Structure 1
């Protein structure tokens, strides 16, 4: 599924991923990312789970997305 993610959503997910890697993920950071994904998915008529997985793949594995 190709989704055109807005910059704010990518930034939120990137912030959460960086916090995970540092061992500093907080509940507010997680909630902000989840709420943004949920709203984005609902507004676009997408499955929330599919949106979340595509966003995580984009942020965590950019080399895979670049090759696609």
Structure 2
């Protein structure tokens, strides 16, 4: 199946939003190993958010690989172009927190 760069951007945005949600939850809940730890609703919420991010990221990776192959380029080049367009949420989060 042929993919467009716009499709890749949409998938990257969705994965980034899910990643940001995981970062927000981790920040709000604190480390799971802290005294008292997370309660069950927190654990379930975090695990659900983490699974959503993982699944979206896996789907993105497969799509990037297919796109790179169709465009006769490398996956790394496609990923770099995506990151030039959309900044990495982990980097943005650390800048915000710093």
User: TM-score if structure 1 supplies the norm length?
Assistant: 0.71
Aligned residues: 57
In the alignment, which residue of structure 2 is the partner of 1:15? 14
Question: Which secondary structure does the structure 1 equivalent of 2:73 belong to?
Answer: coil
Runs of 4+ in 1 over 4 A off after TM superposition: none
SS at 1:46 equivalent? coil
- 1:46 is matched with 73
2:62 corresponds to 1:35: yes
Further displaced range: 49-58 or 34-43: 49-58
**5+ long unaligned stretches in structure 2:** 23-48, 89-98
CA distance in 2, matches of 1:38, 1:13: 13
Aligned partner (choices 36, 42, 59) of residue 86 of structure 2: 59
Match of 1:60, SS state, is coil
Q: Which residue of structure 2 lines up, in the alignment, with residue 66 of structure 1? A: none
TM-score between the two structures when normalised by the length of structure 2:
0.52
* CA-based RMSD: 1.7
